[in-house]
């Protein structure tokens, strides 16, 4: 359902994506892992043209676009196919949880207010926040705010949700409530691309894992292939570092 061919991206003369090829099937959960600065966020942002790629083609469902020459209408169509969940939840501070969730329905989809509210209430229920519908973001925990932003992403019925490190800004004790919502979505066959540092979570929820470094896809495969039994020295080194980090933070907490 998502097909990327020969995607490249430069910032000035620095190449940050190098000939990226990707195939994601409907209902599949893909985890992207890799060191900081390897181009993971840029790749997600290129998929919905938040960043303009330098070359390559992107196909999502019935929209196919050559990134070097496309009509604004096609770009618009492509953007409608995905919704993004960011590390920093980016909620409207002056709107309640419910208003945040239904904003796009009212503004872009021109839905009737009662209908949008019904959808918004159902979505908040799905992420366990029906009681918080009328609260403002400042009165919600980080985990709750992130769950609101997941409900907001679901509201527009995207073909895929793109998560960029959805839990890395959260206090450790709030991580699991967000991962749990994503696990539930995975069970319902929601197509998702998740950039994450949570290796255990990636192993458990992903159908397919992509390891990126220096703008390249170094290897990809099942979680078993990439996370448990990688033969690639680069992947092994990264996973070892991640393991050390986890051990280190666990040690810090015990202190
Ligand atoms: N807007 C930007 N302008 C210039 N360089 C950028 C910009 N965004 C990202 N980069 C650079 O592109 C590279 C990849 O960044 P990013 O995609 O954020 O990596 P990751 O998400 O894997 O940590 C990094 O070297 C980063 O400094
Ligand atoms: Mg990033």
pLDDT digits (tens, 9 = 90+) for 101-139: 999 999 988 999 999 999 999 999 999 999 999 999 999
pLDDT at 124: 98
pLDDT at 12: 95
What does the domain layout of the chain look like in residue ranges? Answer: 95-157
Q: Would you state the torsion angle of the CA atoms of residues 244, 32, 158, 21, taken in this order, to the nearest 10 degrees?
A: 170
pLDDT at 201: 95
Ligand 1 atom 9: residue of nearest CA: 42
Task: Confirm or reject: Cβ of 39 under 6 Å from ligand 1.
Answer: yes
The 10s digit of each residue's pLDDT in 153-208 is 999 999 999 999 999 999 999 999 999 999 999 999 999 999 999 999 999 999 99
pLDDT at 156: 94
Ligand 1 atom 12: residue of nearest CA: 16
Q: Check whether 246 has a pLDDT greater than 70.
A: no
Task: Confirm or reject: Cβ of 36 under 6 Å from ligand 1.
Answer: yes
Ligand 1 atom 1: residue of nearest CA: 11
Q: How far is the CA of 45 from the centre of ligand 2 (A)?
A: 10
Mean pLDDT of the chain: 95
Helices (H) and strands (E) counted in the chain, each on its own, are: 9, 10
Q: Check whether 247 has a pLDDT greater than 70.
A: no
Task: Confirm or reject: Cβ of 252 under 6 Å from ligand 1.
Answer: no
Task: Confirm or reject: Cβ of 13 under 6 Å from ligand 1.
Answer: no
Decide: 206 and 188 in contact? Cβ < 8 Å.
no
pLDDT at 70: 95
Atom of ligand 1 nearest to the CA of 45: 17
Chain centroid to Cα 224, Å, comes to 21
pLDDT at 244: 72
In the structure, what pLDDT confidence band is assigned to residue 63 with cuts at 50, 70 and 90? very high
**CA atoms of 234 and 137, how far apart (whole Å):** 40
Q: Check whether 40 has a pLDDT greater than 80.
A: yes
Q: How far is the CA of 97 from the centre of ligand 2 (A)?
A: 26
């Amino acid at each position: 359902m998502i097909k990327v061919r020969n995607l490249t991206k430069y910032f000035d003369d620095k190449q940050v994506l190098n000939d990226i090829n990707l195939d994601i099937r409907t209902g599949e959960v893909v985890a992207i892992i890799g060191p900081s600065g390897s181009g993971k966020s840029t790749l997600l942002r290129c998929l919905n043209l938040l960043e303009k790629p330098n070359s390559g083609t992107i196909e999502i469902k019935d929209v196919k676009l050559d990134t070097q020459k496309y009509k604004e209408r096609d770009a618009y169509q492509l953007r409608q196919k995905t919704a993004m969940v960011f590390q920093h939840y980016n909620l409207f501070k002056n709107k309640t949880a419910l208003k945040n969730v239904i904003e796009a329905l009212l503004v872009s989809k021109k839905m009737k207010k009662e209908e949008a509210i019904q959808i918004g209430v159902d979505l908040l229920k799905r992420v366990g926040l029906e009681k918080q519908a009328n609260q403002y973001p400042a009165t919600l925990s980080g985990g709750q705010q992130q769950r609101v932003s997941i409900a907001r992403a679901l509201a527009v019925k995207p073909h895929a949700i793109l998560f960029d490190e959805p839990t890395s800004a959260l206090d450790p004790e709030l991580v699991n409530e967000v991962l749990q919502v994503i696990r539930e979505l995975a069970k319902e066959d929601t197509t998702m691309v998740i950039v994450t540092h949570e290796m255990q979570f990636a192993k458990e929820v992903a159908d397919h894992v992509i390891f990126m470094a220096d703008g390249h896809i170094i290897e990809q495969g099942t979680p078993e292939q990439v996370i448990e039994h990688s033969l690639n020295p680069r992947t092994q080194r990264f996973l070892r570092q991640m393991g050390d980090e986890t051990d280190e933070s666990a040690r810090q907490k015990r202190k």
